[in-house]
A and B are shown apart, each in its own frame.
Chain A
Amino acid sequence: MTEPAADRPSILEYLQIPLRRPWHVAIPFVLVTVLAVVASLAITKTYTSSTLILVESDKVPQSFINEGTRDAAASRPRLQTIRQEILSRTRLERILDELNPYPERAGRAPLTAIVEGMRAAIAINVKGNDSFTLEYTHRDPKMAQAVTARLATLFIEESSQARKTQVEVTGEFIESQLTEARQKLEEKEKALRQYKESRMGRLPEQTGANLAILQRLQLEQQSVSDSLRAARERALLVERGMSSSTGASPGNDPVADLTAARNELAGLRARYTDEHPDVQAVQAKVARLEKQVSARTQSNQGDAQLEQARAEVRHLEGKLADVDRRISMFQGRVEETPRTEQELATLTRDYQQLNQNYLDLLRKKMDAQMAERLQDQWKTDNFRILDPAFLPERPVSPNRWLFLWLGMLGGLVAGLGASVAAEMMDPTIKSLREVEALLPFPVLAALPHLDAAVAARPGKVAHMKTHQASRARSSGSRE
């Protein structure tokens, strides 16, 4: 007879709620829908103009500009940052000054608020990798077009200008860096030169020469010492020869005797022929004296030889000492070379680094100059307006159909919510199930809704009416 008792309301019971409370559904539905339609009619129409801007890659052949220059000088803005650039306050303020799209607010609302409002009206949609659209929404279609066009041109102008400026700034920076590097390099160069000068002869590159000299000196040492030995022996021999001839010679002067004899001979010859015995005797005497004198001269020659030999020995000894000194000097130099080399290496490394740096800068400077010239000559704009801003013909807002549908949807939701809320707040017993759960007594019967029962069976009611009427006739009336 009755439904099986359940503790919780079933889904079907919830579904019945809107059916039980149709007014709770219908009134919010109609109200919200009407409200939405009225709102859609009341809202100011707005128009959106848009422009398509293409982001072009550099027109300058890439081979002209190397990597470093592109990094330093290229100002190609990434698409991600375009939004910030376009929506920058200065730019918007400039457009507000030029076009005054919000005359009714100018001077009354704070400038920040107007800029914010304008910012909200601008939409930037990046399309793919290399283009974006710029949209501006305004209640006046002409103003929408004007502001969109101005935004686009202003953006392109400024980005080009910024790019140029950036190239120049880069050039200046490189120039200053270059000067600094040059100074450092010169200082280092000077230091290196001084060091080399102070270490002249010990430099690593002179090692070969030093070794060669050393070798030559050693040979020289050898030859000098040989010569010395020979000279010493000769001197000894001369000394010995001298001492043997000195004892035989008389004390008179053979030279004077020779001269007297020659004079005598000359006198004799004047008078006599050569066969004269006196002449022959004197001739013999002269001859003997000449022999004596020559012998005497020989002995004098021996002294000179000895002297000469000794001088040679002394000379050679001096030379040997000199050679020895030089050998030790060059040995010292060769031994010192590794240390010098190390120190020199340190100095050279620093120098080379500076030099490299300097060269790099120099190259960059040239690149920058090149870029600057390219900038001037090629006019490398990054942006090009593909579709210029158009004059919008139909308003974008309000979308009346959308308002209607959303209003109906919202109304339906509100209505359902209202019916459920009303049901929840209703303190009355709602269903048979609830009766069974709530009351500790058995449910003996559940009488259906009377009107519904009658309405469901109109035929029966009609039948009953005639039946009752006949009964009334048959039973008659007493009162």
Chain B
Amino acid sequence: MDEMFDPKALLKSMGRPPRQAPARPPGSSIDIEFSSAAPDAGPVLEARVDVTPRRPSGALASITAGGPVTEELRRLRARVRTLDTERGLRCLGVTSAIVGEGKTTIAVGLATVMAQEHGARILLLEADLRRPAVEDSLGLPRLPGLAEWLDSGGSTISMRRVMPAGFHLLPAGRSSDGRHAEMLGSERMKGLLASARSTYDFVVVDCAPVMPVADTIILQERIDGFLFVVRERLSPRETTLRALERLQAERVVGVVVNEHRDFLHAHYKYGYDRYL
């Protein structure tokens, strides 16, 4: 937490690769460092090094650029950590009312900044089986993920390791049939989440939007809390309110405003330009 208020530390952690980042030789594909036995019939989670993206896409660039967005994400991280400490909140869903409000961006960003902390092991689980976007957002090639595992019935599931160290990703993958809601409500999914919770320090779940589909509603029982994303000038008031009604109120831990644009205040208010 102290790091939040130490600009020099921020600067260091932003501009360079983390010191703890394991410099892996190009051949090692599977990292069994995090492999663990499932506590209650959950799958074994494996991790493997992913291809580092050649160039980060727009969202990731902004997140890692060290600008106001990053600062705001760190603030969010601090809040989430507080929630973890106070309520034992370990598995946090990120959702919103409709498509395009920035769930994936915020989930990726949050996971990234959380992984930047020393020794933190963070899993980003993509539960939006219909429109997977995390890999694209990170500039990674699409690989099989959650959907294939839920279909297959295997006992081991591979996590993709991306930068920074400690950031593991389970993408949505591609499902063969349309029973997304049933898949997310299945026992395998429940076991997977339990394993993830025990294996990682924190699990961020990138969920489907609330209004178009029921996936997130089904999933909400297995997730400790939700961050509800509202994008300024995109989220309709009525729709947002109705979406929040569908979620259990006690599971919504807070709102994250995305694309916040404050013409007259932004720059002098935070003073990044002068400060950095």
Which A residues are within 8 Å of any B CB, using their own CB? 1, 3, 12, 15-16, 19-20, 426-432, 434-435, 438-454, 456-457, 460-461, 463-465, 467-469, 471-472, 474-479
CB pair B49 A478 closer than 8 Å? yes
CB pair B75 A450 closer than 8 Å? no
CB pair A447 B258 closer than 8 Å? yes
A438 to B252, CA, bound (A): 15
Stretch with Cβ within 8 A of A (4 or more), from B114-122, B166-174, B233-241: B233-241
Contacts of B240 in A (CB 8 A): 429, 438-439
Chain B 40-71 interface 0/1 with A at a Cβ cutoff of 8 Å (1 = within) = 00000000011111111011011011111100
Contacts of A454 in B (CB 8 A): 58, 61-62, 65, 67
CB pair B61 A463 closer than 8 Å? no
CB pair B56 A468 closer than 8 Å? yes
- B221 part of interface (Cβ distance < 8 Å): no
Closest 5 CB pairs of A and B: A444-B254, A445-B76, A476-B26, A446-B260, A446-B257
CB pair A471 B232 closer than 8 Å? no
Stretch with Cβ within 8 A of A (4 or more), from B175-183, B204-212, B261-269: B261-269
- B73 part of interface (Cβ distance < 8 Å): yes
Given A447-B69, A457-B65, residue A478 in contact with residue B237 (CB < 8 A): no
In the complex, chain B residues 17-58 whose Cβ is within 8 Å of any chain A Cβ:
17, 23-24, 26, 29, 49-56, 58
CB pair A448 B26 closer than 8 Å? no
Given A453-B65, A456-B67, residue A471 in contact with residue B17 (CB < 8 A): yes
Given A430-B233, A446-B257, A465-B55, residue A441 in contact with residue B228 (CB < 8 A): yes
CB pair B64 A464 closer than 8 Å? yes
Which B residues are within 8 Å of any A CB, using their own CB? 15-17, 23-24, 26, 29, 49-56, 58-59, 61-62, 64-69, 72-73, 75-76, 79-80, 102, 105-106, 109, 141, 163, 227-228, 230, 232-238, 240-241, 244, 249, 252-267, 272-273
Q: How far is the CB of A349 from chain B (nearest CB, A)?
A: 95
A468 to B62, CA, bound (A): 13
CB pair A441 B61 closer than 8 Å? no
Contacts of B26 in A (CB 8 A): 475-478
Contacts of A446 in B (CB 8 A): 72, 256-257, 260
30 inter-chain pairs at a CB distance below 8 angstroms, sorted by A residue, are A1-B75, A429-B233, A431-B232, A440-B249, A441-B254, A442-B254, A443-B254, A443-B255, A444-B254, A444-B256, A445-B256, A446-B256, A446-B260, A447-B69, A448-B69, A449-B260, A450-B62, A450-B69, A450-B259, A453-B67, A454-B65, A454-B67, A457-B65, A457-B67, A460-B67, A461-B61, A468-B54, A475-B26, A475-B52, A478-B49
Contact of A444 among B163, B253, B259, B273 (CB under 8 A): B253
Chain A: which residue is nearest B55 at the CB level? A468
CB pair A477 B51 closer than 8 Å? yes
Given A429-B230, A429-B236, A476-B26, residue A447 in contact with residue B67 (CB < 8 A): no
Q: How far is the CB of B28 from chain A (nearest CB, A)?
A: 9
A89 to B239, CA, bound (A): 68
